[in-house]
Amino acid sequence: MSVLAMRDVSRDHGTGAGLVHALRNVTLDVAEGEFVAVMGPSGSGKSTLLTLAGGLDTPTSGRIAVAGADAGALGPAARAALRRRAVGYVFQDLNLIPALTAVENVMLPRELDGVRARRARREAHRALEATGIGDLAERFPDELSGGQQQRVAIARALVGDRRLLLADEPTGALDSHAGEEIMRALRARCDEGAACLMVTHESRHAAWADRVVFLRDGRMVDSTPGRTGPETLLDAR
């Protein structure tokens, strides 16, 4: 099942001579358990794609469904609720709150969801275990390496029922070893059923994805074939 379904999505900015087609007729699905990477030169529409997928912006035309709910059919409040409930974000800048421990950082979105503290803490511990840093739960961000901090951010993005993870250059300024740690963590979360859409300019990181799509001038110009799933095997017979 598609966790994210984008159909014929376009986004224009400006009007008249200043009109820019940031994204043109993009159709893209990210299935449960699928890891999709987006590559393209600066200004090709990668970040626009991600902000639209996350409901932080609305398309000029086309349809976007997240976890089966048509984002365009919802009012602003319902869309914000969908965004909080179903989507997690990982950015280049870690955005962990320095005064909170790792587990408190991960609990925060669940507490905002209205979940009681004890349950939120239990879920947060589970999410940290899943990204391989369960033993670091009580540390503060400045007591963690860059790679460990980013794994806290991934745990926070996927805590609770969040199924769609949107990542914008999640390896940022990390060295190649820490970058690989992050990719292993994302890969593992997808193998356990999360859907991940990641923007990156690093081909070595994009290569961890099941599928790499290429954007140019706001259009999807090519993609590597997806992983060989059961359907594909049936088709091949």
Partner 1 sequence: MSIRHGLLALLSQGPRYGYQLRAEFEASTGSSWPLNIGQVYSTLSRLERDDLVTRVGADDEGRFVYRITAAGRDDVLAWFATPVARADRPRDELAIKLAMAVTTPGVDVRQVVQAQRTATLRTLQDLTRVKAAAPAEPSDQGDRAWRLVLESMIFQAEAEVRWLDHCEAFAVRTAPAAPPGAPQDAAPQDAPIEETSR
Binding status of residue 14 toward partner 1 by CB under 8 A: no
- Tokens 């529409």 identify what position? 45
Binding status of residue 21 toward partner 1 by CB under 8 A: yes
Binding status of residue 229 toward partner 1 by CB under 8 A: no
Measured CA distances, 197 to 54, 89, 210, 222 (Å): 10, 10, 11, 16
Contacting residue, 78, 207, 229, 232, with partner 1 by CB under 8 A = 207
Contacting residue, 222, 228, 229, 232, with partner 1 by CB under 8 A = 222
Tell me the closest approach of the beta carbon of residue 136 to partner 1, in angstroms. 16
Binding status of residue 35 toward partner 1 by CB under 8 A: no
Give the interface size with partner 1 as a residue count (CB under 8 A): 28
Radius of gyration of the chain (CA): 18
Contacting residue, 58, 61, 203, 228, with partner 1 by CB under 8 A = 203
Q: Which among 91, 98, 111 is positioned nearest to 160, based on CA atoms?
A: 111
Contacting residue, 98, 114, 225, 230, with partner 1 by CB under 8 A = 225
Measured CA distances, 175 to 42, 168, 179, 195, 204 (Å): 22, 17, 6, 25, 13
Binding status of residue 42 toward partner 1 by CB under 8 A: yes
Angle at 48 between CA 32 and CA 12, to 5 degrees: 125
Site string for partner 1, 100-139 (x = CB under 8 A): ----------------------------------------
Q: What number of residues does the chain have?
A: 237
Query: What are all long-range contacts of 141-146, with beta carbons under 8 Å and residues at least 24 apart?
Result: 141/94, 141/96, 141/97, 141/98, 141/100, 141/102, 141/105, 142/98, 144/102, 145/178, 146/94, 146/173, 146/174, 146/178
- Whichever of 87 and 209 has its CB closer to partner 1, that residue is 209
Binding status of residue 214 toward partner 1 by CB under 8 A: yes
Binding status of residue 60 toward partner 1 by CB under 8 A: no
Binding residues for partner 1 (CB under 8 A): 20-21, 39, 41-44, 180-181, 184, 187, 202-204, 206-209, 212, 214, 216-218, 221-225
